[in-house]
Each structure stands twice: as C-alpha cells, then as structure tokens.
Structure 1
C-alpha cells in the first residue's frame, strides 16, 4: 500500500515538473490567431524554448494587461526593424509572405516603424483585425515569453 502511495506521489510530481519546465498544454482563449489556430483549441507549448525564439514561430507570451498566456506569432527579434505599410508587414525593409493573414481585413493599415530592442521580440496575431499585440503594447521582453508552440491543431 505504501509503495502505491509513493508511486502516485512520484507520478504526480513528474506531471507537475513536465508541465512547469518542459511541455504545457495551453487553451487558446481568443480569435486573434485565426485562421491558423481557432479559439478554444489546445496547443502544446515547449517551455524550454522561451529564451530562443525565431521569426515565424508561434509563441505564448504573458499578456501585459493581465499576465495570462496569449498566443501570437513572432515577426521580428532584437535589432530588426518592423513597419506595416498598406497592410503588409515589412521586417528590415523586406515584405513578409503571410498566406495565413486575410489581407482583406488589413488592407490600408499603416503602422509606424519600430526597432525591436535587445532582449525583446515583436509579435502579431494572424487575425490582424481583432488581435491585440505589439502594435498595441510594443515589443515583448523575452522574460515574458512562456514558450514556443510544438504542436497546434
């Protein structure tokens, strides 16, 4: 009996450790990443990858508003220049190819040039019409990146 209790406690501790430091399931709570990831979907987040993110990756960040994890796409990293002209995102003067963004919803959108500071990333939601992202709260400190998405439906 005591062995079963110890085994159950160890299993519970292992589950908590994996969710804390390795992989965590996260439920997407908004439509800001549609059509790529639908609201209500569950994604698997690699927690160990928070310090090294690359442009194009999906990442869960702590919302500056309430600290909850929110899913966004990293479009630029430290030192890169981001500007949005007529709905098209340019990084270091190169237009991004973003087939997952509905261009009809962002047509005519302009946003000022931003240089991503050291230790930060610039994130956008794929649903640019509804997403609250770096256009609203600025570049995100790497310390606020929870992890990158390993798997999304």
Structure 2
C-alpha cells in the first residue's frame, strides 16, 4: 500500500512539473482577422512554442504587436488594432538577399540584404495585412514564438 501511494505521489508531482514546463514553453492563441488566409482563418486556435527572438524563413511566427514600436506606426488604417499578438509568415531573415519576386511582394529593394536583427514578414493574404509591405524590415525582438499547429478550426462559412 505504501509503494502504491509513493507511485501516485511521484506521478502527481511529475505531472505538475510537466504542466508547469509546458505552460512556460507553450502558448495557445486565437487568430483575429483574415491576413493569414487561407492557411489560418479568423477564429482558428493555434499552438505556439515560445522561441523569443527566433525566426526561420517559411515558418509562421507570432509577434507581440506592442513591441513593434515605430514599426507598428506604418500599419494601414484598416488593420485590426485590437490584437496584441499578430501571426505572420517569415519571408526573409537577417543576411538573406531579397529576390525580385520578394522585393515586389514586400515593397523592398531587390538585391538588398535583410539587415542584422531584422526580418521580412508577410501575411499569406495580401489584403490589409499588417506586415513588411507597410512596415518594411521588422526587428526580430517582437517574435514571441513559432506556430507548430492548429488546435481547432474556426467555423468559417465562406467556402
């Protein structure tokens, strides 16, 4: 009986520790707006691994809009202003040479290099997206984490 109680206590403590670690490393967010359509839609819930200041080309990241500073000032007037976190795809990282195609999509100079400590971010949907099209190079410091999956889909009816 004592061995059974010890097993229960050890399992409970291990579960509590694992839960605390997961809570510090993982984040669940809800998408607001349509800037990442068709990949993610308004109301989708996403699982994010906290990787502050880390981004890789092609990955979808979450940025803390409050930490964008002067970069957030270039937002289009119709961009949603309520969400403190924004979800975007990384199109370029520090040191990348900007291709002609990316330069045209992001309104940046072709052949230039992404400056150290900065990113190019783009919404998958170009309409009204708060991204490098209106803000240019984005500092890496507002990156909160990387999206690793969708937990639930919105009940979007526009199919």
TM-score by length of 1: 0.66
Mark the CA change 1:36 to 1:140 in structure 2 (over 3 Å): closer, same or farther.
same
- Note the aligned Cα RMSD (angstroms): 3.0
| C-alpha deviation, 1:109, in angstroms | 6.4
Pick which of 130-139 and 62-71 moved more.
Answer: 62-71
Contact 2:88 2:131 in 1 (8 A): yes
Rounded Cα–Cα distance in structure 2 between residues aligned with 1:136 and 1:76: 15
Rounded Cα–Cα distance in structure 2 between residues aligned with 1:145 and 1:54: 11
1:111 is matched with which residue: 99, 107, 114? Answer: 107
1:146 corresponding residue in structure 2: 144
Mark the CA change 1:16 to 1:137 in structure 2 (over 3 Å): closer, same or farther.
farther
Determine helix, strand or coil for the equivalent of 2:98. strand
The runs of 5 or more residues in structure 2 that have no matched partner are 1-11, 73-80, 154-159
1:101 corresponding residue in structure 2: none
Matched, 1:89 2:92: no
Structure of higher CA gyration radius? 2
Higher strand share goes to which structure? 1
2:40 corresponding residue in structure 1: 37
Mark the CA change 1:144 to 1:34 in structure 2 (over 3 Å): closer, same or farther.
same
